[in-house]
Amino acid sequence: MTSNSPLTYDQAGVNYDLIDPLKVTAQRAAAATASHLAGHGFSEVKASRGESAYVVDVGPFYVASIVECLGTKTLVADEMAKLTGKSFFAGIAQDTIAMAVNDLITVGATPLVVQAYWAAGGSDWFGDAQRAQALVAGWKAACDTCQVAWGGGETPALAGIVEDGRIDLAASCTGLINPKERLSVGDKLGAGDAIVLLASSGIHANGLSLARKLAERLPNGYLTEIAPGLTYGEALLAPTALYSPVTEALWKAGIAPHYCANITGHGWRKLLRHPSALTYRIHTVPPKTAVLEFIQQQAGQDDREAYSTLNMGAGFAIFVKAEDAERTAQVARDCGIAAWVAGSVEAGEKQLLIEPLNIRFSEDDLALR
Amino acid sequence: MTSNSPLTYDQAGVNYDLIDPLKVTAQRAAAATASHLAGHGFSEVKASRGESAYVVDVGPFYVASIVECLGTKTLVADEMAKLTGKSFFAGIAQDTIAMAVNDLITVGATPLVVQAYWAAGGSDWFGDAQRAQALVAGWKAACDTCQVAWGGGETPALAGIVEDGRIDLAASCTGLINPKERLSVGDKLGAGDAIVLLASSGIHANGLSLARKLAERLPNGYLTEIAPGLTYGEALLAPTALYSPVTEALWKAGIAPHYCANITGHGWRKLLRHPSALTYRIHTVPPKTAVLEFIQQQAGQDDREAYSTLNMGAGFAIFVKAEDAERTAQVARDCGIAAWVAGSVEAGEKQLLIEPLNIRFSEDDLALR
């Protein structure tokens, strides 16, 4: 292994300081368009502004929609294909759908339709039949897991915009919140709620810029063994967990989450997503997956840095009534996803306290609105 | 001007022969996922498979959804920004929304929510505040025109996938078909219907690969004057017409189109989009816009080649009862969009006859399903 100087997320090439101000400007302009819905007899659910999915009240139920990008995980898949001769695009397809579906379900929606956005650097990308078929097969399999219909999509060839030999993958998703009481945009969130964390399968699809940068520093790169028989590259490419089977099962079990947070970019800071002034106190920290532990160690990150950028073993947070907490975790386990009753919501200033690690994140650490 | 050897669409770098087979495979896999909707108490509108937007029957109305890519028009905007110092990204935003909205309305949907997909080659793209603000302002203005709510979106930085300094733009759109009798997936289409063509504003966002290739052959490139005071680059960047005000006005006027076709890639061959065996006979050809006439002339395309790849002045086709044809055109004009009763639908083999130009396209010329 290498001797490590610390590697930060900014050094890895993603500068949220440049992107976040535009996000805020765009969100304000977007908010000003909500009034158009009245002309069609509908209205927005204002509390969904700034949430992971946008929600419109169409009368008998709510409609939720979203578009989400995979990010740069394909660069790892491309490199690993070169190194191993295997195609990893079935898993990549699942990652892409997970980005959209796991966000959409946070507001209480049942995902119904996924659309594929596959923008290649040139027509040639689609000429590699094995890779293209893996993408198709993986996409369908993820739709099957999430019980969504694959509606269609877009397969443009964008030479000059997307790099030659690369593909920009995204998914849009539309769902219904039905019945309307399933809506979870945070208005029910309050002191006394429990925080249930669902296990991630690995790095998921956030933090890949850092992970790729790290590979460059390893003498064996992606082929470095991080556990017996498991290379760094393979571990990175574990497909993102799909959480919609859990949220659907919760509803069938009579549990309506008060709020949900998909733990993606900004890592555990996403637990601070809701604008309410509340304190989130974590007493139980899930085990890190092997690949996340490896990254933290190799990048020389302290816990604060690691938990502020990576999911560190927890891919999704569900905020429920304290009395539903244990049952919520059990429902997730019954879906094959490890889960922990990890903490509680308290009255107090907006902050996240990860007690076992002595970490505190405050409102200033997450400026998304 | 240059002396011209013919320039074909394939030479311009887009090879549909490589992309279309994957599309077909993906469409088959997608079709197999429709059964998942039954688990949620819903069903797909099967006739929407292969149409421009996917439609689900959710009981009181239909939900339509789509994701659409802008394509490579930003490359022209980037070049023109260098040449003129102006930002064209407000228009580019309209183009992007038009790609999604103009497709969604073909099935009879009222667009309700648009999501932004802005994937840049690096965080730096968002650091050019003037350009970023133009994109935001243009996006909002197009939402205002279409009376849709801008729900949110995604602004990833994708160094290594999207080229440095470039941006991959797309939009997803969700809408309702309400009341359900507005559904227009072609089952009502039949012999005796009239074809009304709506004017395009220029090249829109299809055929840009060809248009850019052409610029390389012009001594003055994008600054070539194609009409007094109008450069080739400016003409190319005329924002795509937004047709949803027309389809909404038609409904208010009591006119329910039997079918609609958004004339994008594959040019007028898109008039053959519906799978029915019907003959489409065009008796009136709208004037070409200046920029399309210029492209055809400079690329040395005959009419058959030009009409098979570009919109040639007609951006959208509406198929209506013959008795509604004149009124349909008038409704469009009242919305500020020129329109022509251009032809009729007849029993007979599947073909498009553009009589004034002596062109015939058959089923073999458009293999999308």
Query: For A20-67, what is each residue's pLDDT tens digit?
Result: 778 888 989 999 999 999 999 999 999 999 899 999 999 999 999 999
Instruction: Grade residue A4 by pLDDT with cuts at 50, 70 and 90.
Output: very low
Q: In chain B, which among 176-205 make CB contacts under 8 A with chain A?
A: 176
How far off is chain B from A228, nearest CA to CA, in Å? 31
How far off is chain A from B350, nearest CA to CA, in Å? 24
For position A275, what pLDDT does the model report?
A: 92
For position B41, what pLDDT does the model report?
A: 97
For position A123, what pLDDT does the model report?
A: 87
Contacts with B22 from chain A: Cβ below 8 Å: 126, 132, 136, 155
| C-alpha span between B308 and A208 (Å, rounded) | 42
How far off is chain A from B315, nearest CA to CA, in Å? 19
Neighbouring C-beta atoms of residue B31, cutoff 10 Å: 16
Chain B: residue whose CA lies nearest to A16 = B123
Q: SS3 string of chain A?
A: CCCCCCCCCCCCCCCHHHHHHHHHHHHHHHHCCHHHHHHHCCEECHHHCCCCCEEEECCCCEEEEEEEECCCHHHHHHHHHHHHCCCCHHHHHHHHHHHHHHHHHHHCCEEEEEEEEEEECCHHHHHCHHHHHHHHHHHHHHHHHHCCEEEEEECCECECCECCCCEEEEEEEEEEECCHHHCCCCCCCCCCCEEEEEECCCCCCCCHHHHHHHHHHCCCHHHCEEECCEEHHHHHCCCCCCCHHHHHHHHHCCCCCCEEEECECEHHHHHHCCCCCEEEEECCCCCCCHHHHHHHHHHCCCHHHHHHHCCCCEEEEEEECHHHHHHHHHHHHHCCCCEEEEEEEEECCCEEEEHHHCEEEEHHHCCCC
Chain A contact for B369 (CB, 8 A cutoff): no
Which of B19, B156, B163 minimises the CB distance to A155? Answer: B19
Domains assigned to chain B: 33-182 (3.30.1330.10), 194-365 (3.90.650.10)
Inter-chain residue contact B159 with A44, CB threshold 8 Å: no
Which of B19, B54, B112 minimises the CB distance to A151? Answer: B54
ipTM entry: 0.94
CB of A172 closer than 8 Å to CB of A111: no
For position B6, what pLDDT does the model report?
A: 62
Inter-chain residue contact B161 with A74, CB threshold 8 Å: yes
Mean pLDDT of A87-108: 98
Per-residue pLDDT tens digits for A315-336: 999 999 999 999 999 999 999 9
| C-alpha span between B121 and B163 (Å, rounded) | 5
Contacts with B94 from chain A: Cβ below 8 Å: none
Which of B22, B69, B140 minimises the CB distance to A126? Answer: B22
Strand partners, A344: A194, A281
| C-alpha span between B277 and B272 (Å, rounded) | 9
Q: In chain A, which among 126-155 make CB contacts under 8 A with chain B?
A: 126-127, 132-133, 136-137, 139-140, 143-144, 147-155
What pLDDT tens digit does each residue of chain B (369 aa) get? 334 466 655 555 566 677 777 888 898 999 999 999 999 999 999 999 989 999 999 999 999 999 999 999 999 999 999 999 999 999 999 999 999 999 999 999 999 999 999 999 998 998 898 999 999 999 999 999 999 999 999 899 999 999 999 999 999 999 999 999 999 999 999 999 999 999 999 999 999 989 999 999 999 999 999 999 999 999 999 999 999 999 999 999 999 999 999 999 899 999 999 999 999 999 999 999 999 999 999 999 999 999 999 999 999 999 999 999 999 999 999 999 999 999 999 999 999 999 999 999 998 887 654
Which of A19, A68, A113 minimises the CB distance to B56? Answer: A113
The dihedrals phi and psi of A262, each to the nearest 5 degrees, come to -85, 120
Q: In chain B, which among 206-235 make CB contacts under 8 A with chain A?
A: 209, 212
The dihedrals phi and psi of B317, each to the nearest 5 degrees, come to -115, 135
For position B365, what pLDDT does the model report?
A: 83
Chain B: residue whose CA lies nearest to A76 = B160
Three-state DSSP class for residue B124 = helix
